[in-house]
Structures are given as C-alpha cells and as structure tokens.
Amino acid sequence: MITDLKAESYIESLIKYNSDLCEDIREEAVNSDVPIIRRSTESFLKFILEMKKPNNILEVGTAVAYSTILMAENTASDTFITTIEKFKPRILLAKENIKRAALNKRINLLEGDAASILKRLVLENKKFDFIFMDAAKAQYINWLPDILELMECNALLLSDNVLQDGDVAGSKYALVRRNRSIYSRMRKYLYEITHNDLLSSAILPVGDGIALSMRR
C-alpha cells in the first residue's frame, strides 16, 4: 500500500460511486478475484477524463471491461474506446458486460496479444488522445515505443500499478526472485517516461502508483 491505510480509507469514503451496472460489475470482479483498478485510481481517472474530454481512447488491458465501461460513462457519447485483451475467459465476460451496458457501438474490443495489436495500430496510422495502460506490468517498457507512435500531440498516457505497493522504491533483493524482473522492468519504464524528451510525466502515489504522461 502506497498511502497510509487510514488516509486511504477516508479518501475512499468520499468517492462518489458509479452507475448501478458499474458497481455490479465491480462487485462481480472482486468476488471472482479479477484485478480491477482501485477506487482512488478510479477517482483520478474520472477527474482526468473530465479535464481532457478525449475523443479517441485506447485501453491496454480490458479484463472484464469494468474500467472500459467506467470511461465510457464518464466521457461524451461520441467518444470511442478501443480496448485490448488476450485472456479468453475475460474476453467473454468483457463482451457480456459491454452488451449489458449497451455500449457496443462505442467500444471496440480487440482480442489478442497487446504487442502485436499495438504494432498493427501503428501500421494503420491510428492516433489516440488518451491511453490507459493497465495490463502486464513487465511489458510496459516493451510497449512504450508503439504507445508513443499512437499518441497524438498533447495526448495523455495513464499507466497504472507502477509502484507495485511500494516495492519499486525499495531494493530488488527484498523481493522473491520471480518478482525481480517486473521490478527491474518497471524501474526502467519509469526512468524512460520521466527522461524521454517526447513526454512530460508525473508519478503519483495514488492507489498502487500511477504515472501520468503527456505527449509533447
């Protein structure tokens, strides 16, 4: 946990909840141990969407489409969302939830490996003004070159879970060996987005750590 538990609990008590459908999907995901964004991250996401008012959103990591539907509900009716997921069981649930929300015309779910799909979108000259990245954390650094190509000028990139409950700030030797690769790759990613001349970035201790980057 990045923030003090008491503070986190208090902040969450102030957050305005979502539509009944979104809350139902959230509860179903939690009960099924499907990872979804934390309440504090969700609140920040809605705030940024209200400020940016994006027209064309890309989400890397659909899961069961909770955050996808959340973004649709907090943007204009003509905002289009492209979302990527490769895990078959979650794809089925995501499609069902998108249908429940009657958002099929606003959400395009692309099935398959994110690395391949991102490269295809680059070849198709696709551009997005908002990207939400919430998938395999160790792959963030590998996806970044294509993400940069897909961002139009002044586009925003919101990367979730970048501090890994604070582990990224500590020594990798304090981690079990299987987690050290994620640690090293995430530190490399955070260094890159804070030192790349094409981006202006801020790393914030919200939820599990988020990074907000703007394409120059």
Residue that is written with structure tokens 């890309």 in the block: 58
Q: Which residue has the tokens 């994110």?
A: 114
- What is the pLDDT at residue 177? 56
93-115 pLDDT per residue, tens: 999 999 999 999 999 999 999 99
Domain 5-215, what architecture? 3-Layer(aba) Sandwich (3.40)
Q: Give CA separation, 108 vs 88, 122, 207, in Å.
A: 16, 16, 27
Instruction: Give the integer Cα–Cα distance in Å for 194 and 24.
Output: 37
In the predicted model, residues of the chain with pLDDT beneath 70 are 1-3, 165-180
Helix (H, G, I), strand (E, B), or coil: what is residue 216? Answer: coil
**Residue 155 gets which letter from DSSP?**
E
Task: Give the ranges where the chain is alpha helix by DSSP (H).
Answer: 5-14, 20-31, 39-52, 66-73, 88-100, 114-123, 140-150, 180-195
